[in-house]
Amino acid sequence: MIKTVIFDIDGTLYDYETAEHRAMEAIAAYVCAKPGWNRERFDTAYREAFDALNRLTAGTAASHNRLIRYSILTEKHGLSQSDALNMDEIYWTAFIRDIVPFPYLTEALAFLKENGIRIGAGTNMTSYAQYLKLRKLGILDAFDFILTSEEALAEKPKERFFKRCAERAGCAEEECLFIGDDTEKDVNGARRIGMHAMLACCGKEKAESSDSVLYSYKDLPDIIRAMNRKG
């Protein structure tokens, strides 16, 4: 019996890749407008800052903190800390501006609510950014709980993260269904502690795996009904 459905956020509830591309183009344009900068220099500097932050914070939510990443970039290349803050603001403004839920997601969430099934989010990221995304998607208040890796002090696919998800769900691991777009981080991580799991491939014609794939949220109510009939 499925009592709680837990969703990853990025790439699972909306089109992450398009939003990320739009945001990166915006901060690249900002930096490349400065004397001595071009796209090649920006791309190299950004990759270096990305790698430097990962070396320092790998496996923690801080590795996702864009402001720290931009601060590393600006410090190394003689830009100001105001530039770092401006980049962060430009990035998130562009990222969040046009994101929309995948088709039928809001209807699927309504189905879960109507049937007394708790709704959670389980995501690798800092909390504030994820709350902003869910609010822009118009679904923030549909969630009974939101667990980020910042709060869990562990990143998916670590067992600690999924154990914390089950604790927040208030039910046994086998009564949880975890839905995410990454086979290892979401699906395998959830299954290792006894949760049910599905790979979210909304908007895609073919999944990397044929095992328990969700191509459209239109199908989620029938999937839940079928799982619960089996007990």
pLDDT of residue 208: 64
Inter-residue contact 9 to 121 (CB < 8 Å): yes
Residue 104 has pLDDT above 60, yes or no: yes
Domain boundary among 97, 129, 160: 97
Please tell me whether the peptide bond between 35 and the residue prior to it is cis, using omega within 30 degrees of 0.
no
3-state SS, residue 202 = coil
Enclosing domain of residue 28: 17-97
Q: Give which of 198, 226, 227 is closest to 212, Cα–Cα.
A: 198
For the chain, what's the residue count?
231
pLDDT at 205 > cutoff 70: no
CA–chain centroid gap for 210, Å, is 22
Do 116 and 156 share a domain, yes or no? yes
Domain count, the chain: 2
Q: What is the DSSP-derived secondary structure letter of residue 124?
A: S
Q: Do both 191 and 173 map to the same domain?
A: yes
pLDDT band at 204 (very low <50, low <70, confident <90, very high): confident
Give the H/E segment covering residue 114.
helix 105-114
Q: In this predicted structure, what is the pLDDT of residue 51?
A: 97
Give yes or no: residues 112 and 86 share one domain. no
Domain match, 214 and 120 both: yes
